[in-house]
Amino acid sequence: MGVLGGLDELEDCVSVVHEEQAPLLEIRFVAYHNRMSGENQDVPYRNLNDTEPTPAQSASAQAAAAAGGRRPGGRPRSEKAHRAILDAARAELIEEGFTRFRLEHVAARAGVGKATIYRRWSSKEALAGELLAELAAPHIAVVDSGDTRAELASCTDNALRAIRDTTFGPVVRALLSQIAVNPRLGDPFRATVVQARRAEIARVVQRGIARGDLRPDADLEIATELLVGPVYFRLVFGGELDDSLVVQVADAVMEAFAVRR
């Protein structure tokens, strides 16, 4: 057992005997796209030992969530252990990919017990999803600069630089196929990261409309897909992720939605 997880697990053993279980907390995600039909979900993405926790592990994770991440005594969980787990998960995904992603390997690398992970995340999809969201978060916001063309370029630039210049790139590469076919990973990703990017680009387009630079009938969803789609197309199918792409995409979207004078 790792040093960071030892105290957590000892205290949890005591709490099982002396404390009543906290109410379970159910978290629902609403995906932007429809969920996949059942016949398309029978794919070999699951490592059942990691994806399906035991009832005891599920109860521990859900009770911890209901308690707001605190033990019955009120002391916050170890942020050092939490950080170590996320860092270990990032390294494992980059090195091994999702199909060989094992929570016991993450635990060993982070120096914690596997139960420590299950108290925070109910499955390997939940852990990978939080990691993705954390890595994407710094690359979504677009500053109101007063320049519509520059802000449109920033929308594309944010997505491009996140993939090309940060560890979000190799992590999302490791997870792309699973985001498409595994609803436990894909639905939360679309409900958080994708929806946050859509909302931010919608604000950019709305500012452009308010300035009189873009047409009032500019389609917010199409604008998002035009600004970010080329980056992911080149990520998947090949092509240079260079700064010239940012300029070309921003110019094309500006031309498509500009007010004709």
Q: Which two tokens mark 205?
A: 């387009």
- Does the pTM surpass 0.75? The reply is no
Common-topology check for domains 3-30+44-123 and 135-257: no
Q: Phi first, then psi: give them for residue 134, nearest 5 degrees.
A: -65, -45
Dump the DSSP string for 199-226.
Answer: HHHHHHHHHHHHHTSB-TT--HHHHHHH
Q: Identity (one letter) of the amino acid at 235?
A: L
* Domain ranges within the chain, ordered by starting residue: 3-30+44-123, 135-257
**Alpha carbons 11 and 18: distance in angstroms, whole number:** 11
Q: What is the pLDDT along the chain (261 residues), one digit of tens a residue?
A: 454 555 454 434 433 333 333 332 333 333 334 444 433 333 434 444 454 454 444 434 443 443 344 444 444 678 999 999 999 999 999 999 999 999 999 999 999 999 999 999 999 999 999 999 999 999 999 999 999 999 999 999 999 999 999 999 999 999 999 999 999 999 999 999 999 999 999 999 999 999 999 999 999 999 999 999 999 999 999 999 999 999 999 999 999 999 987
Other beta carbons less than 10 A from residue 178's beta carbon: 21
Question: Is 3-30+44-123 a CATH 1.10.10.60 domain?
Answer: yes
Question: Considering the domain 135-257, what is its CATH architecture?
Answer: Orthogonal Bundle (1.10)
Report helix, strand or coil for 85: helix
Other beta carbons less than 10 A from residue 254's beta carbon: 16
